Amino acid sequence: MSSTNKTTIFITGANGYIAKHIIKQALEAGYGVVGTVRSTEKGDALAKLVKNSKFSYEVVKSLDHKGVYDQPLKNHPEVTVLLHTASPVDFSAKDPLNETIIPAIEGVKELFDSVKANAPQIKRVVLTTSIAAIAIAVLKGINAVGGPYTESDWSPITIEEGSEDGYKAYCASKKFEELAAWKYVEEEKPNFTLATVAPAYAIGPQAFEEDAAAGIQASTSSSIAGLLKLGKSDEIPVFVGDMVDVRDVAKCHILAFELDSAQGERFIAASECFSNHQAIEVITKVFPQYKDLLPTPDLDEREKPTAPIFQNERTRKILGFEFIKPEVSIVDQLNQLFKYK
């Protein structure tokens, strides 16, 4: 374990699906955690879930307003690691450029400026990006389905294309936010090193049981649970692409700041290509009560990716662990959900 062990981590977007797993794993490993949330209500609710005296929160109302991170960072001179997970994730944004792309790009610059000015003791930063920064499927005139794409690739999307709708805006925001982060490090030469984690489609259980009781929150994980609502004669929504267990996404973030060899690297957090048809196959096998309720899967769907396919050998080599298989993530997620159904 590196010398950063037992330090305190500052994590933005602390009440997110992925961030809660990072917080849980970091506390279990003995780190202190300071999380940012957008309101006291959200902070209090999170502290109630986390139930750990080594966790505290700061309210940061916006991602990108001038000086928003200054006082929260000054309040915590014990912090030496920063994880930036907060990002506008709203595929239905009405003004995609101003609601999604600009806040993501300006947000990372504002955060890094604030670290440079107020928290020079921060030595390691991990940014949560996305496989959407690496390749994108839905783009007028560009068919990026295929691959495999690796840690060296960048999606061809432009800011103009990204401004066309909410989903493209999200894809553009992740690419240009990540580019802004690497540029900042290169040009401003702050005291910290950077690593980025690009998750595939994250699935798996909630970090805290209470969240499962409240229903699967509005993140991409919801569509696995959403498959349960299908009727016998419904069409299975088409999706064939890389998936990753949310617990492994969290693990990647922790290793990305712990390992010296991870500094300056981009990581793809992805297990393997899986389809909604395969997911239904798993569900009906493990939970036979769904066999007569759900549509019959067509496993040939496995052969036709509808999303880009990724290859993350470099990530696996540096981080050194085996990703959880989608079958396991799906079963764990549903077992957690069924406790509260």
What are the residues binding ligand NAP (CB under 6 A)? Answer: 13, 15-19, 38, 42, 62-63, 85-89, 103, 128, 130, 174, 199, 201-202, 219-220
Tokens of 158: 């432009």
Q: Which is nearer to ligand NAP, 88 or 147 (CB)?
A: 88
CB of 194 to ligand NAP, least distance (A): 15
- Measured CA to CA, the distance from residue 203 to residue 248 in angstroms comes to 10
User: Residues 93, 97, 98, 104: is their CA dihedral positive or negative?
Assistant: positive
CB of residue 35 vs ligand NAP: minimum separation in angstroms?
9
Q: How far is the CB of 207 from ligand NAP (least distance, A)?
A: 10
Q: b/e for 159-190, b at 16 or more Cβ within 10 A? A: eebbbeebbbbbbbbbbbbbebbeebbeeeeb
| Interacting residues of 1 by C-beta distance below 8 A, sequence separation 6+ | 258
> CA 100 to CA 194: how far, in whole Å?
23
- The nearest distance, CB 63 to ligand NAP, in angstroms, is 4
Of 7 and 130, which has the nearer Cβ to ligand NAP? 130
Residue bearing tokens 């060899």:
261
Which tokens in the block code for residue 74? Answer: 């000054």
- Smallest gap from residue 88 Cβ to ligand NAP (A): 4
* Closest residue to ligand NAP using C-beta atoms: 16
Nearer to ligand NAP, 60 or 284 (CB): 60
Least gap, CB of 185 to ligand NAP (angstroms)? 18
Q: What is residue 235's three-state secondary structure?
A: coil
Residue 241 or 284: the one with the smaller Cβ distance to ligand NAP is 241
Q: Which residues contact 95 (CB under 8 A, 6 or more apart)?
A: none
Give residues with Cβ within 8 angstroms of 288, minimum separation 6. Answer: none
Contact of 128 with 83, CB cutoff 8 Å? yes
Strands 272-275 and 240-245: antiparallel
Question: CB of 271 within 8 A of CB of 324?
Answer: yes
- Could you give the dihedral angle defined by the CA atoms of residues 251, 256, 262 and 265, in that order, rounded to the nearest 10 degrees? 110
Q: Which is nearer to ligand NAP, 38 or 123 (CB)?
A: 38
Nearer to ligand NAP, 120 or 237 (CB): 237
CA distance 272 to 241: 8
Task: Decide whether 244 or 280 has the Cβ nearer to ligand NAP.
Answer: 244
* Nearest distance in Å: CB 82, ligand NAP: 14
Smallest distance from ligand NAP to CB 296, Å: 27
Q: In terms of CB distance, is 284 or 334 closer to ligand NAP?
A: 334
Nearer to ligand NAP, 14 or 236 (CB): 14
Q: Quote the least distance from Cβ 166 to ligand NAP, whole Å.
A: 13
Q: Report the phi/psi class of residue 30: left, alpha or beta, with left for phi > 0 and alpha for psi in -120 to 50.
A: left
